[in-house]
Amino acid sequence: MNGLNPALSPVSVPPGQATSQQEVRCAVRFPLALPVVLSAGAEELVAFTRNVSASGALFELPDPMAAGLEIRFSLRMPGSVLGTPHDILVHCLGRVVRCSLSESQYLVGATIDEYKFAEQ
């Protein structure tokens, strides 16, 4: 599902370091602050999204996550954003592609490799 050229994929940047590499986006991002619980193995972390697209999400977390880590999360997408009469719960499987420190929060970028709409 991810059609990005690996040579153009975003790179993890150590906290406090900037990169001059331009980030490649393959989908429109919507600025949504949604509560989410990220599951990585047996560990669960409470987070908020900063933005969401069809192919990924940016999360705000109190602790860092390693690039390459497989994660699971569910998002309750607002009907007003989707153009539906009610909110839709979406279960996602993805992986962390980058993590950087921004002020007091870590920003974790992740792909959405698979998703499934929950039964209503």
| Residue 24 confidence class, pLDDT cut points 50, 70, 90 | low
| 19-33, 46-60, 73-87, 106-120: the lowest-pLDDT one | 19-33
pLDDT at 114 over 50: yes
Residue 47: phi, psi to the nearest 5?
Answer: -145, 175
Averaging pLDDT over each range in 35-39, 75-79, 82-86, which range is the top one?
Answer: 35-39
Residues 44-56 pLDDT 10s = 999 999 999 989 9
Q: Taking residues 30-54, what's their average pLDDT? A: 93
- Rounded Cα gap, residues 31 and 71, in angstroms: 21
Q: What does the block give as tokens for 70?
A: 């497989």
Strands 105-111, 88-102: pairing kind? antiparallel
Please report the pLDDT score of residue 91 as a whole number: 96
Which one is predicted more confidently, 80 or 9? 80
Domains of the chain: 28-117 (2.40.10.220)
Residue 10 pLDDT grade (very low, low, confident, very high; cuts 50, 70, 90) = very low
